[in-house]
Structure 1
């Protein structure tokens, strides 16, 4: 959280040994500035944070929602380069990249593991108030941000798309009437290189302002592939954003944003084999390698992700009301080859090609008076999704037991066209019943329809063994075993919300709430022989919390306690057909769960120069009912996915005033997470035991605030830890682990023009 007067909040973070000597010399210099008593008093005050979690700009301490807000300056200080690096800064948040460049986001144990586009995310990600419909393209690089807010719990009565678990809201920096900009360069280990630049200013005085930002980032892969002799899971990305802010009169603004990204590394991400696997060509088992960052795979040669979008926000203010329109269109294209046997064999190579476009329209009426606040809206969302996916697995086999493996070559393609349409009307009204007491009532009605055309075909023995070749002749009769279906279904839902909040004192607000979350159903996109529908999820969330700014604004303490009743949750799992032995990929409603927990966020000014930052999350509960293989009830044998019992971070931030030589801050932190189950099967082999990561940030800024030098180190002890897993022990008999980033460090130099 920001502190008033602390200039160092406009810093970045970097590493390299050369600047350490410079920073040491600066630190050793005498402090030349002689602060007045007034300046010292000002430095001891925690600044009020404004958020837009309720679609209106409000003081964080007065918003009856569990929300964490990080400013652009804080994101720079902690070197947040992508959304996954938010994880340690937000209690009960699990956020990482999955197996197919997808954002895997869980809040309070609610989310979605699957990377295939037939199902909806459990946590909504919003870019400048626009909902991102697919998990591919949602693992955003953090470029030129104004703020990121993470809202925990259902948000259906405030946001266009009902998000059952919560929302991650990315707000980019807006154009300014003052000409200013910055350029930063970054260098780090693994040959990490990055350049960011932004420029903003007036185009027509007092009427039109523009902003443009661009970022180029690359690095070598974290893993070494013995098969190719090259690095695996490298990075090569380009992200840009342009915006115009038109203000012809004081009451009206038109805000246009165009953005795009292009990620084109040399190789996709290959998991580490955690168990031996049978090799059909060699007729023996291949052992497990000791180093999780050494892989041996032959089908990881493609990874391409492109996104682009445009959004127009019209805002008209009329006395106490605001009328707003948000119109947006986005496209996403993704191509990947994934090696899911982790061997040089062609046992289980998976490809996924996806194209998606979405159109959304939101109309809002916002009203505020002394005693009444209203957020209401109409929402329309239409999404078209095309995908081609399947297996290139001529060495695939079926384990028959007793050490017998039956060759079962597969070269297949599944072609799916899906259209999703969503309509919603929502309203959220808050009344000030008395000076300390207010009540909020909200409601949402949603109607969603999914139409899908799905078909599959086998091409083994035809001489066609590439995705492009199968796409070209699909359905022409060259392949065999053609299957398919057409299906559609509509779901309606009513989701209410009620909040009671009490301003106990000028420093403390208490609140309690109950709300319902909803996520629509669909059809299992991996099955092509018949339509397997699954029903919507619902979640009732009960929450109580307190927000306090105490000790003359030297201590911020926010707490929340929650209880979730989660029903009909949708789970993806892998199994085997008991009759044929064929591999099955299932997606179905598997039962219900109860979770409960608590969250704490604390910031304390220990001295004029030393600040303590801490967050802590506790999550308990489990499955009340869970149906597994062969319709067996297995709730007592399974644990919730991505739901560690404990998580949090403790950090200390020390600030030096170097007088004419600028300012220097040092931030050291430790983030921890208890044992985490990564798969629906609750595989103990793939579960990640509890661990702690250490990080360090050293930030220098010149007196005129134009130059910044930032040194950072993350995962300083080079801890090996799993973030994601695949349990394919049923078939082809292997378990796979995806590991988090090893130790990284770097140095960033920034020049600001204003």
Structure 2
């Protein structure tokens, strides 16, 4: 079991070995165990080193300079970390938010993707890689971790090392490799809420010493945590299945190939957001939520979201299929290794949502089924670390297509609730197409002028082209395409073809100095770019309710990143303390904003002129005795808009009559916050915190074990605890008094018995104190004042049994 630690990585990114693991007990997950006794979320790498193959040779992550965390497969199992969402409880610098698989976002140090509804027309700043293959959308990475050897979380820009440019960091998932030694693994878990998870894998030779295969599968099912008393069913359930296969061919002593294939199917009854609270806006009192609901004779089942009951009246669905094929080849040239990574992947999305979030038929259909396909090719050559100058050079090509068929239907309560005559039955059918081409040349040198000093410059030349098509046909209940101004204010017909292309050159420089064998330091400067994009969710409207075509594209983000790091080990390497401090400035930050129309249902992308995030990270691990392991990680992240003067206003300053703008100046006086009257057309939110980012975040834990003899075999009885804390964060692009998510702490316990390399059985208790917390809050469209939420999981408990053969 390897542990969440912040490490420093220089040169090339950590990649799987060029040859498969011959002995299943010497994987990277277990290498740390052999060196240290135990490593993991409740332990330290004290007394030994966790190894990575960053430069095609095994080397300690403590000696290489990028902030990096590593979690092994056993640690993932024992902490219940079986997807990216749960990874955040072990990684203070990682944020993950999701209202459904498509509308998911992963951020590192507060950067990566805009907070809010996903827009396909832009890149993600956090790269997701599985066995060296780039996953172009975080939605396609919402699978369960299956047969995972380790997960590496790299913090900060990685564009000179990875195929795809990543300005915020990367999550690198490495699965277990085929083995020439026959082996099998089985893991079964059962728990409350009808939770069941089964994982199995088998590996062995097909042709002795030449061809090996690994097959693995997983199933996860769980009853929902939210009860819908209108539809008489549990919602926000889990229903995931996956299959994965690998075939390794050792063609010659110098050449090997690995063919990967995977298929994942998910069909949960998911995902519902519902009543959390109500806040006053600047709409007339009769047009705010309380009066609108009363006029319809409607009351929600409960005004306490943690009663976990709703009455949304639209069926929910979050069905997705994803998978693909990839071929990775390694040719050992002696002084260097040539690597080829070829891949094709697909993602099919079939949703159903209730976008009014309550039991009234306001918006009866809101869905954007989507089909995505991508191909990529990476060719990389890296030195084998045999001389004073190490290097990695690569070329990367990526092509992606997305086809989306949007449908939105306004129900029989729409006119009364939205205050717009004639919108009952109003229907929008959207045809959305997207083509994305990216190509790059990248490279990094590492020069060692002395045994203690290394200097590592890197460069990346990148080209991006995005081309889209958005056509929205809007019809009335009678099928007419002739619309009134009120109808166009709710659903506006649009047709536009955005186009963006851009070249950019980015680079970085890292200087690392080994003070001693156990004290290492580094300094990094990076200038990177996140590609510009196009709006594919509809454009804002002008005063005549026509789309503003100038907003069809968004500019690239320009990132200046500074980082200092120090990592140390002492007490005979039984203690590890790593510190990183960073300062990142972003010009033309890509963010989600709202239309000024009262009844708009979706936002669009725009650029905030300047954003800054800064902070520090502390990662510690201690092994005071052979039986006790303790760890503690902390992240302080101060992220804010430095300059954003024309941002959307928060709910309490929205909904009234918009004041006019004359010669660039707002004319008139707005009403007080939450008071009906005039509203500002836009707000200056310079200095406010960025959404989705806690200023303070911690993870911590301990594990204690005792040797025991049970049923005639020697093993370990162990008890562990893992905890996490996140302070308050904003859940709205413009901070609102209604959408701050209060800080919360989660605590997990486990108690079990294991025999190394054989079997493990343990009971677990997660969210042990049944803490009530929101994963995300959002507002209902129309400035009604309704705030909806998505509560986190309640207390869960169960038993896990795993066996290796």
Q: TM-score, normalised by structure 2?
A: 0.83
Count residues with an aligned counterpart: 704
User: Pick from 283, 302, 326: which aligns with 2:341?
Assistant: 326
Write out the 4+ residue segments of structure 1 that deviate beyond 6 Å after TM superposition: 5-11, 398-401
SS at match of 2:402: strand
Matched, 1:214 2:217: yes
Q: Which ranges in structure 2 are unaligned for 5 or more consecutive residues?
A: 4-31, 279-288, 481-490, 540-546, 649-679
Q: Match for residue 352 of structure 2?
A: 337
Could you tell me how far 1:516 is from its partner in structure 2?
Answer: 2.1
Taking structure 1 as reference, are residues 493 and 508 closer, same or farther at Cα in structure 2, changes over 3 Å only?
same
Change over 3 Å in CA distance of 1:400–1:724 after alignment to 2:
closer
Q: Tell me the alpha carbon deviations over residues 233-277 of structure 1, each in whole angstroms, 9 at most, x when there is no partner.
A: 111110111001110212111011101100012343334443356
Q: Which piece of structure 1 moves more, 80-89 or 723-732?
A: 723-732
Q: Determine the structure 2 residue equivalent to 1:568.
A: 588
**1:154-183: CA deviation from partner (whole Å, max 9, x where unpaired):** 110000111111111111111011100111
Change (3 A) 1:116 1:311: same
In the alignment, structure 1 residue 385 sits paired with structure 2 residue 405: no
For residues 44 and 379 of structure 1, the distance between their equivalents in structure 2, rounded to whole angstroms, comes to 35
Q: 2:622 aligns with which of 580, 601, 604?
A: 604
1:251 is the counterpart of 2:254: yes
Q: Distance in 2 between matches of 1:44 and 1:674?
A: 28
Aligned to 1:642: 692
8 Å Cα contact 1:672-1:690 kept in structure 2: yes
**Residue 688, structure 1, aligned to residue 741, structure 2:** yes
Tell whether 2:569 aligns with 1:552.
no
Give distance in 1, aligned partners of 2:518 and 2:260: 38
- Kept after mapping to 1: 8 A contact 2:256/2:329: yes
Whole-Å separation in 1 of the counterparts to 2:564 and 2:594 = 38
Q: What is the alpha-carbon distance in structure 2 between the residues aligned to residue 44 and residue 159 of structure 1? A: 27
1:517, CA displacement in angstroms? 2.6
Determine the C-alpha separation between the residues in 2 that align with 1:497 and 1:549: 27
Q: How do 1:144-155 residues align onto structure 2 when only pairs under 5 Å count?
A: 144-155=147-158
Deviation at 1:405, TM superposition (A): 6.5
2:127 corresponds to which of 120, 124, 128: 124
Distance 1:407 1:172 in 2: 55
Q: 1:726 deviation in Å?
A: 2.1
Whole-Å separation in 2 of the counterparts to 1:622 and 1:556: 31
What residue is the counterpart of 1:497 in the other structure? 508
Q: Does residue 522 of structure 1 match 2:533?
A: yes
User: What is the CA-CA distance between 1:502 and the residue it aligns to?
Assistant: 0.1
2:304 equivalent among 281, 290, 296: 290
Among 384, 387, 392, the alignment partner of 1:370 is 387
State the shift of 1:321 in Å: 0.6
Give 5+ residue unaligned stretches, structure 1: 14-42, 465-479
Question: Match of 1:82?
Answer: 83
Q: Deviations over 1:439-476 (max 9, x none)?
A: 00001011100011110011331479xxxxxxxxxxxx
Distance 1:283 1:395, change over 3 A: same
Which range moves more in the overlay, 265-274 or 158-167?
265-274
Instruction: Supply the distance in 2 between the matched residues of 1:739 and 1:517 (Cα, whole angstroms).
Output: 36
Kept in 2: contact 1:575–1:731 (CA 8 A): no
- The equivalent of 2:637 in structure 1 is 619
1:442 aligns with 2:494: no
Structure 2 residue corresponding to 1:721, chosen from 773, 784, 787: 773
Cα–Cα, structure 1 residues 9 and 649, in superposed 2: closer, same or farther, change >3 Å? closer
The reply to whether residue 416 of structure 1 matches residue 432 of structure 2 is: yes
Structure 2 counterparts to residues 197-212 of structure 1, below 5 A: 197-212=200-215
- Picking from 729, 732, 757, the partner of 1:679 is 732
C-alpha distance after superposition, 1:113-144 (max 9, x if no partner): 33232222121111111111112222231110
- 1:744 maps to 2:796: yes
CA distance, structure 2, for counterparts of residue 504 and residue 9 of structure 1: 25
Whether 2:640 is the aligned partner of 1:587: answer: no
Q: 2:450 & 2:696 partners in 1: Cα distance?
A: 38
Query: Following superposition of structure 1 onto structure 2, how do residues 448-527 of structure 1 map, counting pairs within 5 Å?
Result: 448-462=464-478, 482-527=493-538
Residue matched to 2:321: 306
CA–CA separation in structure 2 for the residues paired with 1:285 and 1:516: 54
Alpha-carbon distance in structure 2 between the residues aligned to 1:396 and 1:111: 38
The match for 1:540 among 557, 560, 577 is: 560
Distance 1:50 1:324, change over 3 A: same
Residues 16-48 of structure 1: per-residue CA shift (max 9 Å, x gap):
xxxxxxxxxxxxxxxxxxxxxxxxxxx995331
Task: State the 1:325 CA deviation.
Answer: 0.6
Residue in 2 that maps onto 1:663: 716
Measured at CA, do residues 398 and 505 of structure 1 come closer, stay the same or move farther in structure 2, by a change above 3 Å? farther
Tell me, in whole angstroms, the C-alpha distance in 2 between the residues paired with 1:565 and 1:398: 45
Tell me what 2:171 maps to. 168
| 2:439 counterpart of 1:428 | no
CA-CA distance at 1:641 after TM superposition:
1.3
Which structure has greater strand proportion?
Answer: 1
Q: Name the CA shift for 1:583/1:352 in 2 (closer, same or farther; >3 Å).
A: closer
Alpha-carbon separation, structure 1, partners of 2:584 and 2:195? 42
CA contact (8 A) 2:313 2:358 kept: yes
Instruction: For residue 568 of structure 1, give the secondary structure of its aligned residue in structure 2.
Output: strand
Structure 1, 499-508 or 525-534: larger mean CA deviation: 525-534
In structure 2, the CA distance between the partners of 1:69 and 1:143, relative to structure 1 (3 Å rule), is: same
Counterpart secondary structure, 2:89: helix
Q: Report the Cα distance in structure 2 between the residues aligned to 1:109 and 1:418, rounded to whole angstroms.
A: 27
The residue correspondences of 1:243-282 to structure 2 (distance < 5 A) are: 243-275=246-278, 276=289, 279=292
Partner of 2:663 in structure 1? none
SS state at 2:87 partner: helix
Give, in angstroms, the shift of residue 301 of structure 1: 2.9
CA contact (8 A) 2:40 2:72 kept: no
Q: RMSD of the alignment, in Å?
A: 2.6
Distance 1:55 1:117 in 2: 35
Taking the aligned partners of 2:789 and 2:271, their CA distance within structure 1 comes to 15
CA contact (8 A) 2:639 2:693 kept: no
